[in-house]
Structure 1
Amino acid sequence: MNNNNHSCHQQEEEEEAHYFPSDSECCWFDDACILDMDYFVKTLSGIKQKGVRSDLIGSIITHYASKWLPDLSSASATTHNKDSPESTVTASWLKKRFFVETLVGVLPPEKDSIPCNFLLRLLRTANMVGVEGTYILELEKRISWQLDQASLKELMIPSFSHTCGTLLDVELVIRLVKRFVCLDHEGVKSGASLVKVAKLIDSYLAEAALDANLTLSEFVALAGALPTHARATDDGLYRAIDTYLKAHPSVSKQERKGLCRLIDSRKLTPEASLHAAQNERLPVRAVIQVLFSEQTKLNRHLDWSSGSFSGLRSPCNGGYDTPLRCLSKREMSAQQMEIRKLKEEVYRLQSQCNAMQVQMERMVEKKKGLFFKWRKFGIGNRSSSIVGEVEKILEQESGRFGRETPMDLKSGVFGVMTPHKWRKSTS
């Protein structure tokens, strides 16, 4: 009888030795930790077999995971107790690694079942405690699938690698964006999702640009990871580039030109164009291109408005066209309101372009000693040497700016076109 008890006891010790490492192997977890996680995995497996929806299973995982790992809770911040012994810190990290690997293994196969922000916090912890690469890859794939749902706060994952000089893990974000763009090329994601990701990445770039150790190649790689059609406007990208130039004053002139080629000046709003025209950190050619783009927009507004008003009159009988139906007083009032708004918009653009030209003249005279004598909002004779100089500048410019100019330089039009005289409204 004693022999049987001894053999059973010896068998139990062998099984425990199989599941639990000895002290020499750094026994960092206790029985309750393993039993709780093992019980959770078995319970979750039973719930899956009953056909419960994947989003409910994801809610269960996020709820219990936040209890086991406070770092995974959106309301908590990652803290470290500096007074704890080194062995205690190591044991805590190993326990976190065990939890993260187990959680990744039980995630539902449906990619939208777990919130993206929770996955980002899980990836942050996984990188911090050194989880195996297969689990990291699985998390990155899931995050890339729903990157358009991520927040800037959760995306700013620190770099835990000793070989990386930046504070943020920029290389990680580059991988996530490239995977998401591949999904867009495959037609899996919509254009609206791509626009959301572009806004998110531009905001991330503006934050990462403050890091003095962020290299120009890393900045360009992340900014260029998105296709040109992803950005509805380039205001966010311009703000990020301006922040990078401000935080890295040692950037050479040639590198500044390369950064400005990332911006499509035609996609800048009037407010951003006005700021760029007064920005001394930008190259002169970039500022000139911004001014030309704004002039093109203004001329289009003027052409459209003049065409709209001229179309109200009929060349026949010296009167007006007979409309298909009589407009009501409400419709006529609304039409007059739209015309007034259009006039105000055109005048506002004219004043902004005038201010940009004045700033451009001052900057060119201050830096280069060149004198461009631009007449304010007029058409007149221009020196052929000045026109030739500007043409050389535009011909040398390459990249996304293009060579389209908003006016005919050879004809001498180098200012804002004089607006057509407004005709009296007939309504």
Structure 2
Amino acid sequence: MKKQCCKESETHQNQQLSLEYCCWFEDACILDMDYFVKTLSNIKQKGVRADLIGSIITHYASKWLPDLVTSNANANANSNANANASSPESATTSWMKKKFFVETLISVLPPDKDSIPCNFLLRLLRTANMVSVEATYRAELENRVSWQLDQASLKELMIPSFSHTCGTLLDVELVIRLVKRFLNLDHDGSKTGAASLVKVAKLVDCYLAEVGLDSNLSLSQFVSLAAALPSHARATDDGLYRAIDTYLKAHPSVSKQERKGLCRLIDSRKLTPEASLHAAQNERLPVRAVIQVLFTEQTKLNRHIDWSASFSSLRSPSGYHSVLETPERCLSKREMNAQQMEIKKLKEDVYRLQSQCNAMQAQMDKMAEKKKGFFKWKKLGFRKSNGETGNVEHETQTEFGFGTQTPMDMKTSNVLKGRTPQNWRKSLS
């Protein structure tokens, strides 16, 4: 309880101290930057929170540079006009003052990550590029912006290019550096988080759609910024597809191979049905990309039908056999596996029946061979050893109509009957 009361009192004291300093800045209108730095260092020594120090810096910066404030643009324009009328100075002096002021502000920024809003840092970065501050100050400011890039807005990110060597209207190289530094935060030990990565991906896709309208934007710059983010950063590729379509519309002279390279950035599996429908009818895309989109949509449709059919078959009493009987759709993988198992089982049954038939046929052949050998043994004319053998021989002779007869005996017997055996007619003629 005591700790909670101490925290509340400390917070209230910090808020009062911040309000006192802000009111003092507003009333005094400090013009000496060195005095401001000394006063700010005294505030830091008293243990004021970093966010309160950041609010003091933003408040004081708005007095020096009204361009850093987004609201009340007309009031800022009037204040600038009054200031120019009251104290006219050369453009070089104003430029030097702005440069000195921006460099001083960057040097006194608190080291905490969320102490100053990202949009204010972006406006400060725009001013720093405009007045050409030193490279160390610019790098420090870019690092601070990259820490909070997921909190940036598209309007503040669209920083114009102040370099004469750059052909584009917006500073695309600056945004590429910010995105790469944001992605390198994981390697430095500070986790960016999946939600932050998704926000940055949406911001980059919107920025690509805006900068893609610039006819001076090169393909390498567009691809470098679009491919800077990993594939898992985008939940859907609709924003990236919109940016690529905008770039192709503004750059009709892009070759076929370059169009193919651009379309490789899109994962057709991550397109919504609306984007897939637009892509299927888009004449600016290469044919291979359109076919890929159509194939992916067909696969999604088949998978959806398969899952719906499988759930309906589980609810139906006939099981998956009712699914197999529907000829108007393709079978799913599960149904194909079941059908293959049934076919395999039927093949095994056929093989087993065939082996049984072969075994029965072999037994029948063996029995026939035994009978055939038995009759041949009788035909050889072995004499009767006893009465039993004679009876068997007699029965056999009676059954087949002939005994141990020679061809002459058969001839004589048949002649007596008045006919000649068919097998011997030709030999007798």
Alignment TM-score > 0.5, same fold: yes
Contact residue 149 and residue 182 of structure 2 kept, 8 A = yes
Which position in structure 2 is the counterpart of 1:75? 71
Which position in structure 1 is the counterpart of 2:349? none
2:114 to 86, 89, 112: 112
Which position in structure 2 is the counterpart of 1:19? none
Matches within 5 A, 1:44-55: 44-55=40-51
Cα deviation for residue 39 of structure 1 reads 2.0
State the secondary structure of the residue aligned to 2:32: helix
Aligned mates of 1:62, 1:120 — CA distance in 2 = 12
Cα deviation for residue 102 of structure 1 reads 0.7
Aligned mates of 2:298, 2:88 — CA distance in 1 = 65
Deviation track 1:239-289 (CA, whole Å, cap 9, x = no partner) reads 000000000011111111110000000000000000000000000000000
Deviation track 1:314-341 (CA, whole Å, cap 9, x = no partner) reads 459x9xxxxxxxxxxxxxxxxxxxxxxx
Cα deviation for residue 109 of structure 1 reads 1.0
Which position in structure 1 is the counterpart of 2:312? 309
Paired residue type of 1:238: Y
Paired residue type of 1:176: L
Cα deviation for residue 33 of structure 1 reads 9.2
State the secondary structure of the residue aligned to 2:315: coil
Aligned mates of 2:246, 2:102 — CA distance in 1 = 36
Aligned mates of 2:230, 2:72 — CA distance in 1 = 36
In terms of mean alpha carbon deviation, does 186-195 or 168-177 score higher? 186-195
1:238 to 233, 237, 241: 241
Which position in structure 2 is the counterpart of 1:161? 163
Which position in structure 1 is the counterpart of 2:93? 91
Q: Which runs of 5+ in 2 are unaligned?
A: 1-27, 322-327, 331-429
Aligned mates of 1:154, 1:112 — CA distance in 2 = 17
In terms of mean alpha carbon deviation, does 184-193 or 108-117 score higher? 184-193
Contact residue 30 and residue 36 of structure 2 kept, 8 A = no
Paired residue type of 2:214: D
Q: In the superposition, relative to structure 1, how do residues 86 and 222 fare at CA in structure 2: closer, same or farther (>3 Å)?
A: farther
Q: In the superposition, relative to structure 1, how do residues 95 and 226 fare at CA in structure 2: closer, same or farther (>3 Å)?
A: same
Cα deviation for residue 199 of structure 1 reads 0.1
Paired residue type of 1:253: K
Deviation track 1:215-247 (CA, whole Å, cap 9, x = no partner) reads 000000000010111000000000000000000
1:281 aligns to 2:284 (yes or no):
yes
Cα deviation for residue 312 of structure 1 reads 1.4
Cα deviation for residue 308 of structure 1 reads 1.0
Aligned mates of 2:71, 2:30 — CA distance in 1 = 26
Contact residue 158 and residue 167 of structure 1 kept, 8 A = yes
Aligned mates of 2:139, 2:190 — CA distance in 1 = 22
Aligned mates of 2:312, 2:329 — CA distance in 1 = 22
Which position in structure 1 is the counterpart of 2:204? 201
Contact residue 70 and residue 76 of structure 1 kept, 8 A = no
Aligned mates of 1:138, 1:239 — CA distance in 2 = 33
Deviation track 1:1-47 (CA, whole Å, cap 9, x = no partner) reads xxxxxxxxxxxxxxxxxxxxxxxxxxxxxxx9985322221111111
Count of residue pairs brought into register by the alignment: 289
Aligned mates of 1:87, 1:38 — CA distance in 2 = 21
Question: Over aligned residue pairs, what C-alpha RMSD do you find?
Answer: 2.6
1 or 2, which has the higher helix percentage? Answer: 2
Q: Rg bigger for which structure?
A: 2
Contact residue 146 and residue 179 of structure 2 kept, 8 A = yes
1:248 aligns to 2:251 (yes or no):
yes
Which position in structure 2 is the counterpart of 1:263? 266
State the secondary structure of the residue aligned to 1:311: helix
Which position in structure 2 is the counterpart of 1:124? 126
Deviation track 1:130-168 (CA, whole Å, cap 9, x = no partner) reads 111111000000000110000000000000011100000
Which position in structure 1 is the counterpart of 2:56? 60
Deviation track 1:58-81 (CA, whole Å, cap 9, x = no partner) reads 011111101110111122669899
State the secondary structure of the residue aligned to 1:109: coil
Aligned mates of 2:268, 2:88 — CA distance in 1 = 54
Aligned mates of 2:318, 2:291 — CA distance in 1 = 41
- With the length of structure 2 as denominator, give the TM-score of the two structures: 0.64
Cα deviation for residue 87 of structure 1 reads 6.5
Q: Which runs of 5+ in 1 are unaligned?
A: 1-31, 319-376, 380-427
Contact residue 184 and residue 194 of structure 1 kept, 8 A = no
Which position in structure 1 is the counterpart of 2:222? 219
Q: In the superposition, relative to structure 1, how do residues 260 and 86 fare at CA in structure 2: closer, same or farther (>3 Å)?
A: farther
Contact residue 206 and residue 239 of structure 1 kept, 8 A = yes
Aligned mates of 1:192, 1:57 — CA distance in 2 = 28
Aligned mates of 2:124, 2:270 — CA distance in 1 = 37
Contact residue 50 and residue 115 of structure 2 kept, 8 A = yes
Contact residue 143 and residue 176 of structure 1 kept, 8 A = yes
1:42 aligns to 2:23 (yes or no):
no
Contact residue 167 and residue 216 of structure 2 kept, 8 A = yes
Aligned mates of 2:275, 2:186 — CA distance in 1 = 28
Paired residue type of 2:123: R
1:182 aligns to 2:184 (yes or no):
yes
Paired residue type of 2:208: L
Aligned mates of 1:315, 1:204 — CA distance in 2 = 55
Aligned mates of 2:59, 2:110 — CA distance in 1 = 15
Aligned mates of 2:223, 2:40 — CA distance in 1 = 44
Among all aligned residue pairs of Structure 1 and Structure 2, give the percentage whose two residues are the same amino acid.
78
Aligned mates of 1:89, 1:76 — CA distance in 2 = 24
